[in-house]
Structure 1
Amino acid sequence: MIRVLISISCLWLVSLAVHAAQNAIDGVRVWPSPGSTRVVLDLEQAPEFTYFTLSNPERLVIDLANTSDSADLPAIDKSGELVRRVRYSTPKNNQSARVVIDMTRKASPNLFAMTPTKPYGHRLVIDLEDTVNSSSRNQSEVVKDSLSNQRDRDIIIAIDAGHGGEDPGSIGPSGTYEKHITLSVAKKLEARINREPGMRAIMTRSGDYYVSLNKRPAIARQQKADLLVSIHADAFHQPQPRGGSVWVLSTGRADTELGRWMERTEQHSQLLGGAAEVITDKASERYLAETILGLSMDHSMAASYDLSNKVIQELGKVTKMHKKRPQAASLAVLTAPDIPSILVEVGFISNPQEEKNLNWAAYRERLANSIFGAAKRYFRQVPPDGTLWAAQKERNRTHKVRSGESLSLLAQRYNVKVSSIKEANNLRNDVVQIGQVLTIPST
């Protein structure tokens, strides 16, 4: 009898141990984007899983070994057009859980596990590549060939809002997510650019979803952009640093502690939001190596440096500059071979005061306007061939200032505004010098 009791007790203890070690689903998050949808299962432990697809209707079935299905799966509010719901189904056995993702149409799945990376724990990430490329429905192709267009084309500026979706970026002392600040500034910059005749903005992301670091410059190239501006909010492991900075591509290792910190942060973002591509996309490594070494990078890097100086001048009117010269780091988002690219840090979200500033909509508007002002100054000087601004510059006249002449006199003579002459020549006041050659804009 005693032996029987001991055996039962041992079995009961083993059962408890197995039950205690069983994994559990803590939550479900869905991140829809134009070309794909990401579903994330938050788990207590690393998952063991298998999966298969079913049709009519379209479903993805995931079996999680040694996992409880007792926790409720929350209703998904913003699942996008592809995912209808996430639910449980009858598991293979009592020790496993079966999760089913109901879809509106066929999708190509890619599943991978992720180890804990703050602010998240263990995760099973399910990327569903949409068979219907909605990005082609939402974004029209940019026309660059002026022969196929009735007018000179617009200057295209690609705006990249840093982080997004699964990757929150840096988190401020009060809990502000960098990804929300960057998207807000990016949208304000987009609106300002689109109000300017002869300019047009495109976004690498327009909502709260993750775009891999290699895809961001690829989107700019696909849309034939003339410039890529990546918006970020800086952070450091101490709260004291503050102010804005502008970064350009370095083909070597960053030469400052902050630059090395940024490079590590970018790798962290890849792990948070794009681990599948880091694991599987070996071609991207060859692409980056080729583009960095490509001769076309020379022009792009020189143009990026020139533009970054103008951004520093304009941004300095809004906020204190942490660095008053362009900084260099090896950042994947800046590696488009034929597009000038800069990364703008609009402030330190890790600084309590700057976090408050960045949460102020009017302040973000001023930041966007300063970046726009710098881009406008740059392209007025060197407009890309085939653009409306290039055609306007060709029609502009020049005038050599003589004794007794002033801006107001020249404006009357050429029937243009004083402000137009100042803008065409980057003049900050009304003073002109004898012998100075001025560009007179067309009427």
Structure 2
Amino acid sequence: MGGFAKGILCLLAGLWFCWQPAMAAEIQNVRVWLAPDHTRLVFDLSGPVKHKVFSLDNPNRLVVDMASSRLDARLDGLGLDDSPVSGIRHSRQPDGTQRIVLDLRRKIEQRSFELAPNAQYGHRLVVDLLETGAGGRQASVELSPEPEALPAIDTGALRDIVVVIDAGHGGEDPGALGPGGLREKDVVLSIAREVYRRLEKTPGYKPVLVRDGDYYVSLRGRTKLARRHNADLFVSIHADAFKDKRARGASVWIISDRGATSEVGRWLAQKENSADAIGGVLSLGDKDEVLAGVLLDMSMTYSKEGSRQVADRVHGNIGKFARMHKPFVEQAGFVVLKSPGIPSILVETGFISNPDEARKLRSKSYQREMAAAIADGIQDYFWQRPPAMTHVAHRKNGGALPSLGGRTYKVARGDTLSVIAVRNGVSLSTLRAANGLSGDTIRVGQVLKIPSS
């Protein structure tokens, strides 16, 4: 072929290439996360896209348009049954736009944003469907029967002690990964639920779970929830990884305003504080958070003292059956622990990156043992330092339960027979005789007859 012919072919090939549309970004995968107040759709993309989201009425629909893109993922089997979405359709427009149409069961609000790649994910488009009214799913937690009702007492408006339990990570953020596909978010949710069960069964406590399913809550959202519930304690539960797989041992952390107490502390705090970027949360620059920080130093003195005391108890309990990373409570700058006025601790239940500890953390019996250590530490702390006007404070101060046959007293954690005798103005021998006791052994929940002094 002559040079002229070759030149013509090259020119035609160049023109053909120029006529082709820009390379389309592929929609490689779609994930759905169901939270109590919103449903999140995450589109994994091969590259950045320009997008537009708008609503249509009669019937209610939400349209997601992604310019110069192509769907290369399945849209069936996404698990949308318990969401506002009744159906999902797609089509490719003549200009190369990929259109996703969500048929809705009810009217919702929406927000959307794009996320740049990070250590775990590539480009993503996040679309949140926000519940606007009573049609949304309720954030209820039905994990155990109602606790035994506290007896009626004429002492004014007593309240329960509120403990907010935070299972780390969730949804888009799996947390640390261990052998065999073990995920931190699953392990810590199981432990958090067990702590919830134990506290919920204890009269005088009102536990609250930050998340009760596989969805992500922002770091600030977790602390805001604790403030909204007027929490007496915030407990965040994790099972993290370290760059050295030999790292091992559980640990208990409180906030530090002077830097971490170890290299591991700096590493963990840096990882946890960047979780929002993985979980799919944009920083909105909330000025209220900045203004609230002005009051931080004034209110953190109380919360840090309480944090240290409850952390010491939990650390000691875990150390009875598990190897501890350090023989003392550690400190680091975890954002999730910065709740002014609320004692807050973070429990690292072990290193999921360590094969031996990962095997233990996978075990349900070990998870229950860890939960018991946390719950017992919490109850021990509040028995020694009960908030005023709570049922626990009333019981500690000698509150007697009414009975047609005379006074009775329900044994609480930390009670001894001699203390109950002194508190109620009777001799130890008289108290033993009234209850048919040959010794001083009593059990939590036991109801004792209090004889006349």
TM-score bracket for this pair, using the shorter chain length: 0.7 to 0.9
**Equivalent residue number for residue 179 of structure 2:** 173
Counterpart amino acid of residue 171 in structure 2: G
Shift of 1:251: 2.2
- Give the alignment of 1:206-355 within 5 angstroms: 206-276=212-282, 278=283, 280-283=284-287, 285-287=289-291, 289-293=293-297, 295-355=298-358
Q: Pick from 68, 84, 87: which aligns with 2:86?
A: 84
Deviation at 1:442, TM superposition (A): 7.7
Superposed displacement of residue 350, structure 1: 0.8
Q: Which shifted more, 106-115 or 347-356?
A: 106-115
Q: CA deviation at 1:316?
A: 0.6
| Cα distance per residue 1:98-128 (max 9 Å; x no partner) | 1222322222222111122233221101122
Of the three residues 8, 12, 23, the one matched with 2:12 is 8
Partner SS, residue 381 of structure 2? helix
Q: Which residue of 1 aligns with 2:36?
A: 34
Aligned to 2:383: 380
Residue 110 of structure 2 is aligned to residue 104 of structure 1: no
> Aligned partners of 1:300 and 1:442: how far apart in 2?
38
Contact 1:52–1:62 at 8 Å: present in 2 too?
yes
Asked if the contact 1:311–1:374 (Cα under 8 Å) also holds between the matched residues in 2, the reply is yes
Report how far residue 283 of structure 1 moved. Answer: 2.3
Q: CA deviation at 1:366?
A: 0.3
Q: Tell me what 2:126 maps to.
A: 125
Deviation (angstroms), 1:89: 3.5
- Residue-by-residue CA offset, 1:299-351 (whole Å, 9 max, x unaligned): 11101101100001101112111022111112121122122111100000110
The answer to whether the 8 Å contact 2:431/2:450 transfers is no
Q: Write the distance in 1 (CA, Å) between the matches of 2:440 and 2:317.
A: 21
Is contact 1:239-1:351 (8 Å) kept? Answer: yes
> Are 1:191 and 2:191 counterparts?
no
Gap regions ≥5 residues in structure 1: 141-145, 402-406, 425-439
User: Structure 2 CA distance, aligned partners of 1:252 and 1:269?
Assistant: 22
SS at match of 2:181: coil
Shift of 1:266: 1.8
Question: Cα offset for 1:296?
Answer: 2.0
TM-score by length of 2: 0.82
The 3 A distance-change label for structure 1 pair 224 and 179 is same
Matched, 1:62 2:84: no
The answer to whether the 8 Å contact 1:27/1:41 transfers is: yes
Q: Which amino acid is 1:122 matched to?
A: H
* Aligned partner letter, 1:383: P
Q: Give the aligned partner of residue 437 of structure 1.
A: none
* Residues 165 and 209 in structure 1, CA contact (< 8 A), matched pair in contact too: yes
Structure 1 residues 327, 390: CA separation in 2 closer, same or farther (over 3 Å shift)? same
1:242-276 CA distance string (max 9 Å, x none): 11111111123324211211221123311011432
Q: Which runs of no fewer than 5 residues in structure 2 stay unpaired?
A: 143-151, 400-416, 422-426
For the structure 1 residues 374 and 207, does the alpha-carbon distance in structure 2 shift closer, same or farther, using more than 3 Å as the test? same
Q: Distance in 2 between matches of 1:284 and 1:172?
A: 38
Distance 2:118 2:34 in 1: 21
Contact 2:115 2:280 in 1 (8 A): no
> Measured at CA, do residues 149 and 94 of structure 1 come closer, stay the same or move farther in structure 2, by a change above 3 Å?
farther
Matched residue count:
412
Summarize the Cα distance change of 1:225–1:400 in structure 2 as closer, same or farther, 3 Å threshold: closer
Provide the residue aligned with 1:49 in structure 2: 51
CA 1:222–1:420 in structure 2 vs 1: closer, same or farther (change >3 Å)?
farther
- RMSD over aligned CA atoms reads 3.2
Kindly tell me: are residues 122 and 419 of structure 1, through their superposed partners in 2, closer, same or farther at Cα, counting changes over 3 Å?
farther
CA 1:245–1:101 in 2, change beyond 3 Å: closer, same or farther? Answer: same
Q: Is the counterpart of residue 360 in structure 1 residue 363 in structure 2?
A: yes
- The offset of 1:151, in angstroms, is 6.8
SS for the counterpart of 1:196 is coil
Q: Percent same amino acid among aligned pairs?
A: 36
Shift of residue 391, structure 1, vs aligned partner: 0.8
Report the CA distance between 1:78 and its aligned residue.
Answer: 4.3
Q: Tell me the distance in 2 between the aligned counterparts of 1:31 and 1:291.
A: 35
Structure 1 residues 243 and 150 mapped into 2: Cα distance closer, same or farther (>3 Å)? same
**1:122-173 CA distances to partner (integer Å, 9 max, x unpaired)?**
1101122211264766379xxxxx9999873222211100000001111113
Residue 293 of structure 2 aligns to which amino acid in structure 1?
A
**Structure 1's 149 and 95: CA in aligned 2 closer, same or farther, altered over 3 A?**
farther
What does residue 435 of structure 1 align with?
A: none
> Are residues 1:205 and 2:225 paired?
no
